[in-house]
Structure 1
Amino acid sequence: MSAEAMPATDGPIIRYFEREKLDEIAAPAQKTLRLPFWFSSDRVITVVSACLSIGCLFVIWYLGTRYRINLFIRFQNIPTPHEVFVQAGEVIGSTKFLINIGMSLERILLGFAIAIILGVPLGLLTGRYRRIRELVMPAVEVLRPIPAIAWVPMSIMLWPSNESSIIFITFIGAFFPILLNTIHGVEAMDGVLLRAAQCLGASEPRLFWHVILPGALSQIFTGLAIGMGVAWVSLIAAEMISGQFGVGYYTWEAYSLVNYPAIVLGMITIGMLGLLCSGAIRLIGRLTMPWLAFAPGSRK
């Protein structure tokens, strides 16, 4: 075939494969110049942005307590960062403070794990089957608006110990965000994927494991992140009301003793623990869903 008789589409195709060849030749050079993940410019910008965000809070705190600002917000009785730092130095190494942190972590992990075990499978079934959705959703919509703090008196009557009631309240806080986001993830799936898998002979268990669960996984992890935040709010409230140990109990006890630096230290500890838990969920999500890094529109 002469060059004049060749199809017009051959030109772009040839140029495409030429670019692919050039990319293969340049790939070794690019690999040698690539920086490690932790030293990449994107990672540096992320760390700097996080430091600036948290640093702004400390600057506002320092200036407000340094000059005792008394406008609409009053800083007269707020302890300074130095006072809180001194308080931290006194209690961080103490056994009691570490026990309080350990008790809160144990309660949050137990309640959150139970919420995952019950919420994710129920959400998958509810999102998949209309009859189950008709049976489950009315009860969910009745119970969901009740705040976790309102469950405290009932949970004390329901469960034989304060420890069980606190774990139950933590579970309630995490359960509904996980359940609803799982349902939404299943309902938002492209029906073409389900029909294609069924045409290829996939059974219902295989359909759940290979199609529905991976398709809803992004929304499930969104529910896990939201549920973890609500679980911490519920846990601290329960510990303040009926707990004998925990970071929430430590903070409330400091308020009762008019120990203002200890109150702020308890609040900072709660924030740091919540940050670590949410960061762990995001990390597990990235490891579980590596394909999202290559999805169109994914964040760089």
Structure 2
Amino acid sequence: MAHYFVGDLQGCYDEFRRLLAKVEFNPSRDQIWAVGDLVARGPGSLDVLRFFAKHEGAAHTVLGNHDLHLLAVQGGLKRAKPSDKLDALLQAEDIRYLIDFVREQPLVHHLPQQDLVVTHAGVPPQWDLDTLLKESAFVSKALKRPDYLTALIAEMYGTDVDTWSPELKGLKRRVYCINALTRMRFLHADGRLDFDCKMPPSSGTQGDLAPWFNFPSSLPETTKIVFGHWAALMGETHSDRFQALDTGCCWGEHMTILHLETGEKITQNALKRS
């Protein structure tokens, strides 16, 4: 059995299927984990969600910020942007089933045998493994409630919850978890989340900011972190421990799959569309 990890799909279904063909992915034998943001910007969000729902035993994902935003759009809390190309998904006859499927997905996958965790944006350096799993489960519990739209999704937008404290309670605790696991890129020197800078670290214009993965991690030193979200990195963290897989397919770059057992990264260029 092979274990594969794929960067942000964002509706780029055709490129995803070509990558699966390149690695000869077999859902009866292999496992694939996506780093979140299955939907938005590419034309195939509906097909992507249907693939993961159909192959739920072999295809896994964590939630990204675009996946959570889909819940808000479908629930009437936000308007869909034309550039997100979500019309086919929102008008699909199985939209309710797919939305419920999204709500069931976690914010983190932990693979203990591989000593590896998967999140969309990364892991706050202050969090050990127990905290990471506990805080993710706290959000997942709220997403599965009947009132998830009003109790969580409507309240998750904003930048006022940017600092971790074990004293955070209720909604603020959940919002910090969402912000950290689905939106994080740079941190201030004191550990506060920055929500504005999306440039690569090499741009040299970040002031006191540093990438979250440059801070000492509270996870075991052997634990790998696989993440996406930050396309500007183009897969470069200068560390084998931190595997960045978003390589900007929806922006015309390419999609990346990591074959865990060999360490090989296989890519598929974005397809040209009229």
TM bin (shorter chain) = under 0.3
Task: Flag the structure with higher helix content.
Answer: 1
Whose relative contact order is higher, 1 or 2, with alpha carbons under 8 Å and at least 6 apart? 2
TM-score, reference length from structure 1:
0.20
How high is the TM-score relative to the length of structure 2? 0.21
Structure number with the higher strand fraction is 2
**Structure with max Cα Rg:** 1
